[in-house]
Chain A
Amino acid sequence: MDPAIVQPLMELGPPLVLLVAAYFTGRYIEVQHYRDIRRREIRWRNLAAVTFRQVPKAWSVEEATLVTGSVVISVDHFKRFLAGLRMIFGGRVRSYESLLDRARREALLRLKEAAAERGCSAIMNVRLETSRMASSRRKGKATAGVEVLAFGTGLRLRRSAA
């Protein structure tokens, strides 16, 4: 074969294969994760997580304790590539939106699970914090992932007679 054709192929091949592999695995992981999130959201629907700073009058609190839930999620290579393209034209970066959405919902679910483990039936003053985790490679410019921390005050409620 003509080396003029083979050489660009040899150079472009591995990154292209990586991109395609990242697309399929990233997609698979995301679909699985969303399925898991939806299933657990239905399961924990009755555990109220509210952003109120004061206890609603109807609640009779027996015990209060701090609960947290956190997760670090990484974006895949393909989505990073897409976001890179987006940066040329500007606009919504859908691939990152879904990453943050997954991270927030996962953190909230873990918060609820941690609260349930301690016998709480409601969480008040829920706060969400997002921070970017830098990788130590590429001089810290490469993003290792985003961390979302959800925290709040878990409440053990007295069963009211009403």
Chain B
Amino acid sequence: MIITNTETVPGRTINRFFGVVSGSTVRTKHIGRDLMAGIKNIFGGELRGYTELLQESRSDALERMIQEAESLGANAVVNVRFSTSSVAQGAAELFAYGTAVQLDQGP
């Protein structure tokens, strides 16, 4: 599966379009991480726990999007975008979407 955030895949041509595919996940951090973040909030610096959490969630959302594309018979997803929205206190939705397409056989 080829994933890009451009409209085409460089060097390949698109044969078929399958439409929009998406994947999302809603996550919240556990108390321990929140506590650590509280301390970091006083002294500054990177909130590593949050960085990791968001990275994991985002790749989860991507994974779900890829699954949907695979079930349609696509071999690539182009023009992928991400969006983050906080649905509640301390919880966030990570959303990935793109266009599932079928590419010709590569060179």
Residues of chain A touching chain B, judged by Cβ–Cβ distance below 8 Å, are 18, 21-22, 25-26, 29-30, 33, 53-55, 59-62, 64-66, 68, 70-77, 79, 106, 124-125, 127, 129, 131, 133-137, 139-140, 142, 144-145, 147, 149, 151-153, 155
Interchain CA distance A139-B86 in the complex, whole Å: 13
Binds A, one of B14-22, B34-42, B67-75: B34-42
Q: Which residues of A contact B3 (CB under 8 A)?
A: 65-66
Q: Which residues of A contact B11 (CB under 8 A)?
A: 60-62, 64
Number of A-B contacts (CB under 8 A): 137
Instruction: Give 12 CB contacts A-B under 8 Å.
Output: A26-B44, A64-B9, A64-B10, A68-B82, A74-B37, A74-B47, A136-B89, A136-B90, A137-B34, A149-B58, A153-B5, A155-B10
Shortest CB distance B100–A (Å): 14
Interchain CA distance A72-B82 in the complex, whole Å: 16
Contact across chains for A125 and B46 when beta carbons are under 8 A apart = no
Checking B45, B47, B84 against A144 with a beta-carbon cut-off of 8 angstroms, the contacting residue is B47
Closest A residue to B88 using CB positions? A140
Residues of chain B touching chain A, judged by Cβ–Cβ distance below 8 Å, are 2-7, 9-11, 28, 34, 37-38, 40-47, 50-51, 54-55, 58, 62, 80, 82, 84, 86, 88-90, 92
Given contacts A70-B54, A72-B51, A131-B84, contact A64 B41 (CB under 8 A): no
Contact across chains for B43 and A145 when beta carbons are under 8 A apart = no
